[in-house]
Structure 1
Amino acid sequence: MSTFKTNIIAGPLWSNDEAQKLGPRIAAAHLGKFTGQWNTIVQGQMSVIEVELNAEPTGSTEYTLNVLAGPIWSDEDAKAICPSICASYGGTWNGQWTTVVEGKMSVCSCVFKF
C-alpha cells in the first residue's frame, strides 16, 4: 500500500507535549497516522501536524459523510467537483450532493473506508 505525508491544520498548538497528545487524534480524524512532526505557521493562531495517509482508502468499515464543497450548480458541476473534494478528505464520492445554502454552499456525499 502506497502512503504519502501531508500537513493538516490543527489550530494553535502551544507546546511539543500538546502536539504529541493531540496529533494522533487529529490524524485519526483524517484516517491517518501522526508522524510526530508539527510546526507553528501563524504565531499564536495556527499550527500544522504532519500526517501519513494511505494513497487509496482501505478497510472493511464504511462511513458516509457530507463535506462542504462551495456552490454546486448542477449534476454536471457536481461530477467535476465532488470527486476531488472527497479525495481531499481521503474519501470517495458516492454520486450524491445537495445545496445547503442557496447560491453559496453545497455538500458532496463522501464515503470513507477504515
Structure 2
Amino acid sequence: MTTFVMLNKQKLKIMSTFKINIIAGPLWSNDEAQKLAPRIAAAHLGKFTGQWSTIVEGEMSVIEVELNTQPTGNNEYTLDVLAGPIWSDEDAKAICPAICASYGGTWNGQWTTVVEGQMSVCGCVFKF
C-alpha cells in the first residue's frame, strides 16, 4: 500500500507496507499453503499475500507476507526473542533494538541470559 502526502506543493510517495518471505516449514500443496499461511503471517503481525514457494524440496517453504512499516494497534504484547550471547547492558543497548525491529517490535530495555556464554533474549514489545 502506498500513501501520498503534500510537502511544499510536491506530492511525495510514502510506503506504508512492505513484503518479505518468512519460512513456514514444508508446505506440500497450494491448498495447504492457503490454509496455513494466513495464520503464520498473522503470527508475525502481517498479511499473507497468497504467494509461496518451496526453497528446499521436502523440507522448507517460504510464504510472502505484507507488513506495516510502523507497528499499529491499541494492543501490546511483550515477548522475549532469542538474540545470541549478550555480555553487558551496553552490549544489549547496541543489539536488542535491531533484534526486536527484525521481528517488527521495539525493545523494552530488558534482556537476560538464558544459556551462559551462548544465548540471551531481548524483551520486545509488539503492537497489534
Q: By the TM > 0.5 criterion, same fold? A: yes
When you count strand as a share of all residues, which structure comes out higher?
A: 2
Shift of 1:111: 0.1
Work out the percentage of aligned pairs sharing the same amino acid: 88
Name the structure 2 match of 1:69: 83
What TM-score, normalized by structure 1, do the two folds share? 0.98
Structure 2 CA distance for aligned equivalents of residues 80 and 13 of structure 1: 37
Unaligned stretches of 5+ in structure 2?
Answer: 4-15
Q: Which has the larger radius of gyration?
A: 2
User: Could you say what the CA RMSD is over the residues aligned between the two structures, in angstroms?
Assistant: 0.7
| Matched residue count | 114
Look up the SS of the partner of 2:58 in the other structure.
coil
1:57-103 residue CA offsets vs partner (Å, 9 max, x unmatched): 11100000000000000011101110111011110001100000000
3-state secondary structure, aligned to 2:27: coil
2:57 is the alignment partner of 1:25? no
- 1:78 maps to which residue? 92
Higher RCO, 1 vs 2 (CA within 8 Å, ≥6 residues apart): 1
1:83 maps to amino acid: P
The whole-number CA distance in structure 2 between the counterparts of 1:79 and 1:62 is: 21
Residues 16-46 of structure 1: per-residue CA shift (max 9 Å, x gap): 0000000100000000000000000000000
Counterpart in the other structure of 1:39: 53
Cross-structure match for 1:11: 25
Gaps of 5+ in 1: none
